[in-house]
Amino acid sequence: MSATVRATPDADACSRTDAALTRAFTILGKRWNALVLGGLRSGPAGFRELSRAIGGVSDSVLADRLAELTQHQLVYRRVDEGPPVSVSYELTERGRALMPALDQISAWAVEHLPMETPAG
């Protein structure tokens, strides 16, 4: 009987990868953040427009998520003095750079996570 020898991954490489994923999913893993970013992929949007596009998110949570994404420089908050005053949100360069990764996650979900059908 021969023993199978498995190659073990470089611990330092795993550690660096885990640290990077941890940083990324600290932001992206928070409920609604990826949907907010995806909602801005086609261009600037106002608060109400984002709220309707996402659906199911409360105003206070959406405001918190937008503030957090702005703090992480993924979203830019633009205030037009008006009158009337209007606020819109758009992806920064850093936020736009994330779109290919979100597209890949979406494609993976389509292929590997079947849509739930309502219980009937």
Q: Enumerate domains of the chain plus CATH numbers.
A: 27-112 (1.10.10.10)
Tell me the percentage of the chain whose pLDDT exceeds 70: 82
Tokens of 117: 């059908």
| φ, ψ for residue 41, nearest 5 deg | -65, -30
- Over residues 39-79, the pLDDT tens digits come to 999 999 999 999 999 989 999 999 999 999 999 999 999 99
Neighbour-count burial of 39, counting CB atoms closer than 10 A to its CB (0-12 exposed, 13-18 middle, 19+ buried): buried
Q: What is the DSSP string of the chain?
A: -PPPPPPPPPHHHHHHHHHHHHHHHHHHTSTTHHHHHHHTTTS-EEHHHHHHHH-S--HHHHHHHHHHHHHTTSEEEEEE--SSPEEEEEE-HHHHHHHHHHHHHHHHHHHHSPPPPPP-
User: Higher model confidence: residue 19 or residue 43?
Assistant: 43
- Predicted pLDDT at 82: 77
Q: Is the pTM of this model over 0.85?
A: no
- Predicted pLDDT at 18: 83
